[in-house]
């Protein structure tokens, strides 16, 4: 079966930055819905017309992946506002920011604690891969017709590293695994 919209494709991949550093590997096939929310548009476009066994290599510029780095999404907050045990690398939903955080900090993003100082903490609302050009080597493991439920929801319940926050302020896709 040829990949078309809509269909479900099982993929494995290796994701690298432009220097060749491996950022992520997917060794076991994972199903993604083509024509919905599971993959970035440029990836879906590159997969169209391919069949099981196909190898697809592509480079994604920041604007085709996770956007440019936005320094307006960096916030320096008082450490005292956060619970004890806060560690670099932890993520916090914008809707869960403590009372007293900067009022302009968007509540519909996921923040990563990037640095902790004696009195302050740095929160970064950018996607961890924003501003980075990516090289993606995909292998099509299988292709099938989508179920009615998948068509109705526009997803297989997986996503390509998306960090999206829905209307209720809850993330709707997984982060890098």
For residue range 152-165, what is the model confidence (pLDDT) as tens digits? 999 998 876 544 44
For residues 114-127, b (16+ Cβ closer than 10 Å) or e, as one string? eeeeeeebbbbbbb
pLDDT in tens, 107-123: 999 999 999 999 999 99
Contact indicator for 173, 159 with CB cutoff of 8 Å: yes
Q: pLDDT at residue 168 above 90?
A: no
Using DSSP's 3-state secondary structure scheme, residue 44 falls into helix
Reported pTM: 0.79
171 has pLDDT over 90: no
Q: In this structure, are residues 161 and 24 in contact, taking their beta carbons and an 8 Å threshold?
A: yes
Are 112 and 123 within 8 A, CB to CB?
yes
Could you please report the per-residue DSSP string of 55-70? EEEEEE-GGGTT----
Whole-number pLDDT of residue 103: 95
pLDDT digits (tens, 9 = 90+) for 16-36: 999 999 999 999 999 999 999
* Count of all residues that appear for the chain in the document: 177
């Amino acid at each position: 079966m040829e990949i078309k919209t809509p269909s479900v494709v099982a993929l494995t991949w290796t994701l690298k930055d432009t220097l060749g550093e491996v950022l992520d590997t997917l060794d076991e096939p994972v199903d993604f819905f083509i024509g919905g929310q599971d993959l970035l548009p440029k990836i879906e476009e590159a997969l169209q017309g391919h069949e099981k066994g196909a190898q697809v290599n592509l480079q994604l510029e920041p604007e085709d992946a996770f956007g440019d780095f936005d320094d307006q999404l960096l916030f320096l907050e008082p450490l005292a506002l956060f619970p004890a045990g806060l560690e670099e690398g932890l993520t916090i939903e914008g809707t869960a920011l403590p009372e007293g955080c900067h009022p302009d900090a968007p509540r519909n993003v996921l923040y990563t604690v990037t640095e902790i100082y004696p009195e302050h903490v740095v929160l970064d609302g950018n996607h961890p891969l924003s501003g980075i050009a990516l090289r993606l080597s995909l292998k099509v493991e299988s292709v099938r017709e989508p179920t009615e439920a998948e068509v109705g929801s526009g997803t297989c319940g997986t996503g390509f590293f998306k960090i999206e926050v829905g209307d209720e302020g809850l993330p709707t896709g997984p982060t890098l695994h």
